[in-house]
């Protein structure tokens, strides 16, 4: 993460959600040193005096919380065009520039870290880390492993195949191991597989199992042999969820068909559910999709809401992901609103998007909470998201985003924003 323009930072006049406490700290202060490490986060009364050269920001009574995570995104995919159009009709230079724009809008929305699960080359991760482009911290799977005819098989209904580098086919344990090795050679941080069919794939269904048990075990073993890489699984239906869980996958992506057996399996294995509710709550428009996809989505949206609500009630370990690329980019924090709609408390939704997500990505020793010694990745919301969680999904309310103490985006002092927040706070 770049350190250009770093300086000791102090943010005052805020309420603090630190990702640890179950309540806010009113009249709080956060301080970070020249290296972007938090040195203090707590009540203003106990804060050290401001130091010479320290940059001080007035938070204007807003709510300061840890930088948010999106653990399931597709930054290499546009949300307003089909994969087919991009693959066949888009100039690769323009596609690259579009991805840079998506990275910037995602960061400005308050997402300071992402796990990209398909279609993002490692060059974007490295460019962000080197400070050459703005964006969230990135872990990427580079591509997705599936079997012939499975969810990530890019053969079209016409029989023609899109030769996409973001999809890898493996049809036995040996091919599965080779696929993992190829992705690790390409620089993947995490391995993404499909253990179920999907809503957006024409020739299979979420109820279908994709990779077989011995193939899943081969992937998990191979990933573990190389630095203990985690495996994430696209698993929408019951069969795919159980196959992934019993064979050592770290996270279930989507999990729409999760039932009691799946809930128990995740708990026994300390695994995570990433429910991507943004895709579930996305409005249905039959005129903008194919009939088969519309019918599958209509059916599975209802199933997902019921099952994810049960998983929330039973305190399944939930991290936050949006499936952006399928859903709009730059609106990622709306995912927390949907978690709350299905029964999660606002404080738990924020914790899911911060501390729990950091734990899934293996970075909880430095991110996900606002404590001394952690990196100062922070988001400032103009109002109190514990009173209205929708505030985090409102771009006008995200008034400051910083990574490692470096301010990446700020709207503090914008008269339009100030007027809007004043009007809403009195409504």
Domain boundary residue, one of 331, 360, 389: 360
The answer as to whether 4 is a domain residue is no
Instruction: Specify the pLDDT at position 210.
Output: 97
Instruction: Specify the pLDDT at position 281.
Output: 97
> How far apart are alpha carbons 354 and 186 in whole angstroms?
28
Instruction: Specify the pLDDT at position 132.
Output: 97
Instruction: Specify the pLDDT at position 416.
Output: 47
> How far apart are alpha carbons 358 and 367 in whole angstroms?
6
Encoding tokens for residue 2? Answer: 């770049």
Can you state the angle between helices 122-129 and 92-108, rounded to 10 degrees? 50
Q: Are residues 33 and 154 in the same domain?
A: no
Q: Are residues 136 and 44 in the same domain?
A: no
Q: Are residues 313 and 277 in the same domain?
A: yes
Residue closest to 194 by CA, chosen among 155, 236, 139, 136? 236
Encoding tokens for residue 359? Answer: 């734990």
> Do the beta carbons of residue 276 and residue 321 sit within 8 Å?
yes
Which are the contacts of 272, defined by CB distance < 8 A and separation ≥ 6? Answer: 250, 251, 252, 266, 317, 318, 319, 356, 360
Instruction: Specify the pLDDT at position 6.
Output: 58
Q: Are residues 190 and 89 in the same domain?
A: yes
> How far apart are alpha carbons 205 and 199 in whole angstroms?
6
Q: Are residues 204 and 327 in the same domain?
A: yes
Which are the contacts of 168, defined by CB distance < 8 A and separation ≥ 6? Answer: 143, 144, 145, 146, 152, 179, 182, 183
Tally of CB atoms within 10 A around 200: 16
Instruction: Specify the pLDDT at position 5.
Output: 54
Q: Hey, what's the torsion of the CAs at 231, 362, 342, 207, to 10 degrees?
A: 0
Q: Read off the CATH number of the domain in which 18 is found.
A: 2.30.40.10
Q: Read off the CATH number of the domain in which 182 is found.
A: 3.20.20.140
> Do the beta carbons of residue 55 and residue 7 sit within 8 Å?
yes
What is each CA distance from 293 to 46, 296, 327, 419, in whole angstroms?
A: 56, 5, 15, 43
Domain around 44? 9-66+368-425
Which are the contacts of 62, defined by CB distance < 8 A and separation ≥ 6? Answer: 14, 15, 380, 381, 382, 383, 399, 400
DSSP state of 384: -
pLDDT along the chain (427 residues), means of 10: 64 97 96 97 96 91 98 94 76 94 98 97 98 98 97 85 87 98 98 97 94 98 97 98 98 98 98 98 88 94 98 98 97 98 98 98 98 98 98 97 97 60 50
pTM of whole model > 0.85? yes
> How far apart are alpha carbons 51 and 10 in whole angstroms?
9
Instruction: Specify the pLDDT at position 422.
Output: 53
Instruction: Quickly list DSSP for 324-362.
Output: BTTB-TT-TTHHHHHHHHTT--HHHHHHIIIIIHHHHTT
Q: Are residues 223 and 243 in the same domain?
A: yes
């Amino acid at each position: 993460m770049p350190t250009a323009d770093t300086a000791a930072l102090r943010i005052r006049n805020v309420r603090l959600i630190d990702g640890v406490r179950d309540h806010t700290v009113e009249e709080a202060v956060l301080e970070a040193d020249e290296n972007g490490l938090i040195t203090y986060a707590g009540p203003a009364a106990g804060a050290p005096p401001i130091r010479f050269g320290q940059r001080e920001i007035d938070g204007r009574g807003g709510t300061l919380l840890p930088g948010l995570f999106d653990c399931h995104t597709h930054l290499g995919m546009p949300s307003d065009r089909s994969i087919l159009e991009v693959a066949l009709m888009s100039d690769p230079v323009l596609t690259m520039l579009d991805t840079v724009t998506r990275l910037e809008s995602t960061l400005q929305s308050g997402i300071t870290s992402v796990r990209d699960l398909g279609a993002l080359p490692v060059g974007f991760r490295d460019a962000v880390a080197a400070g050459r482009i703005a964006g969230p911290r990135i872990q990427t799977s580079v591509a997705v492993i599936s079997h012939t005819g499975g969810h990530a098989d890019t053969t079209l209904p016409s029989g023609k195949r899109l030769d996409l580098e973001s999809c890898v086919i493996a049809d036995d344990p040996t091919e599965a191991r080779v696929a993992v090795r190829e992705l690790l050679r390409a620089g993947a941080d995490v391995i993404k597989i499909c253990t179920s069919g999907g809503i957006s794939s024409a020739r299979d269904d979420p109820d279908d199992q994709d990779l077989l048990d011995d193939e899943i075990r081969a992937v998990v073993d191979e990933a573990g042999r190389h630095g203990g890489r985690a495996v994430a699984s696209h698993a929408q239906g019951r069969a795919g969820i159980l196959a992934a869980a019993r064979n050592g996958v770290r996270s279930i992506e989507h999990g729409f068909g999760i039932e009691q057996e799946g809930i128990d399996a995740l708990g026994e294995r300390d695994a995570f559910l990433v429910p991507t509710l943004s895709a579930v709550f996305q409005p249905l428009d039959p005129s903008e999709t194919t009939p088969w996809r519309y019918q599958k989505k209509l059916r599975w949206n209802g199933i997902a809401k019921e099952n994810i609500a049960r998983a929330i009630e039973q305190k399944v370990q939930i991290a936050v992901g949006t499936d952006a690329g399928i859903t709009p980019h730059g609106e990622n924090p709306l995912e927390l609103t949907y978690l709350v709609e299905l029964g999660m408390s606002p404080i738990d939704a924020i914790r899911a998007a911060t501390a729990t997500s950091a734990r899934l990505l293996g970075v909880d020793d430095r991110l996900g909470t606002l404590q001394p010694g952690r990196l100062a990745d922070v988001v400032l919301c103009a109002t109190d998201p514990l009173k209205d969680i929708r505030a985090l999904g409102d771009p006008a309310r995200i008034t400051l985003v910083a990574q490692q103490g470096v301010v990446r985006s700020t709207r503090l002092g914008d008269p339009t924003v100030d007027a809007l927040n004043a009007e809403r706070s009195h409504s």
